[in-house]
Structures are given as C-alpha cells and as structure tokens.
Amino acid sequence: MHPVRESLLYLIGEDREAFDRAFLYFQKIDFEPFNGYLSMEPGLIEFLEPAHSLFSTALATNRTISTLQLLDRYDLSKYFDLVVSASDVQFPKPHPEIILRIISTFGVSPGQVLYIGDSKVDEAAALASGVLFAGYKNPLLTADLHINHFQELNSLFPNSSRHAWESQ
C-alpha cells in the first residue's frame, strides 16, 4: 500500500548508499513472474464494464513500474480513462496529489468522485482530497460507505438489476 521509496526507507533505514543501491535494484526487477500470483477480485470486471461506459474512470495507485504491466496482464487498461501511479506524482498516497490530479484532469469537483480503497493510505488520501470514499473489505476504515463486493455499488448504474453479477 505504501510507495516503494517509503517502503525501502522503512526497511533499510537512513543509509543513503544502501537505499540508492536497493532502489536501483528495484527498478530492474521484472515483476511479471510475481504478477501470476495475483488474482482479480470477484465482480471487478462486471463492475468496471458499466462504470466505464457511464462515468470517467481512473486508477490511483502507489504501484510504480509494475502498474501498466499488471493492467495489461489482466486486460484492465481498457476500463480506465486515466491511470496515475506513484511514478506520476511528486507525493504519492497518502498525500492527495494523485486524487487531485484525477479531479483536475476530469474537471470535476471532489463531491463528484467516488474513490474505492482498502487501506489506511487510501482513507487518508480520500479524506485529504475531499472525495467520497468507499472502504473495500475493511470495516476499520473511516468511509462514506463500506462494501465487501463490487456488486454492492450496482445502484450507481441505471437498470442495475439486470447486471450479470446478480444472476451468479
């Protein structure tokens, strides 16, 4: 959930030379073998298809170089109008810069944005940017609503009772 620089600093400490070596090593890692161990959340595609057809959609992530590779592996790129990763901003989450960039790009107000996240980092970024926050599978988060499955958001879509996930 934390950006790589912050994670490495936590693991390595203040040794700048060791940090620089570790960061250089990280930039050369091929994450593809690891991506095969990941799986999509149930109902994600069934949520993204109508969401993308009705709304502007964006991904805000603290991932860096593995983001696009992961989206391509699972054929998810087509569902996002904008992808903003920690590599694209000066201050990654929990700083609100990623979300504020999305708001600015789409020309909307914070109250028109629903941000779905599962961590304290997401919670802090949502709170700092003033967007509506849906806490995903984490009831300990302070959120405008809590969901455990993407189908719980189907009320956002016209004729939502006809979506495929409801027949499963």
**What tens digit of pLDDT does each residue of 119-131 get?**
999 999 999 999 9
Query: In this structure, are 26 and 72 located in the same domain?
Result: no
Domain identity same for 66 and 9 = no
For 64, the domain range is 31-167
- The interaxial angle of helices 97-106 and 120-129, nearest 10 deg, is 50
CATH number, domain of 65, equals 3.40.50.1000
Q: Please report how the helices 4-12 and 16-27 are oriented relative to each other, as an axis angle in degrees rounded to 10.
A: 140
What pTM did the predictor assign? 0.80
Based on the fold, state whether residues 26 and 100 are members of the same structural domain: no
Which H or E run includes 76? none
Give yes or no: residues 84 and 18 share one domain: no
- Percentage of the chain beyond pLDDT 90 is 60
| Digit-coded pLDDT (tens) for 53-85 | 999 999 999 988 788 888 999 999 999 999 999
Q: In sequence order, what are the residues at sequence separation of 6 or more whose Cβ sits closer than 8 angstroms to the Cβ of residue 154?
A: 47, 160, 161, 163, 165, 166
> What is the per-residue pLDDT for 84?
96
What are the φ and ψ backbone dihedral angles of 100, each rounded to 5 degrees? -65, -35
Q: Do residues 63 and 84 both lie within one domain?
A: yes
> What's the mean pLDDT in 16-24?
78
Per-residue model confidence (pLDDT) at position 12: 81
pLDDT for res 7? 72
Query: Do 23 and 35 belong to one domain?
Result: no
User: Is residue 163 scored above 70 in pLDDT?
Assistant: no
For residue 94, pLDDT over 60 is answered with yes
55 and 109 together in one domain: yes
Question: How many domains, the chain?
Answer: 2
pLDDT band, residue 29 (cuts 50/70/90): confident
Predicted confidence (pLDDT) at residue 27 exceeds the cutoff of 80? no
pLDDT at 2 over 80: no
Asked if 17 and 53 sit in the same domain, the reply is no
More confident residue, 157 or 4: 157
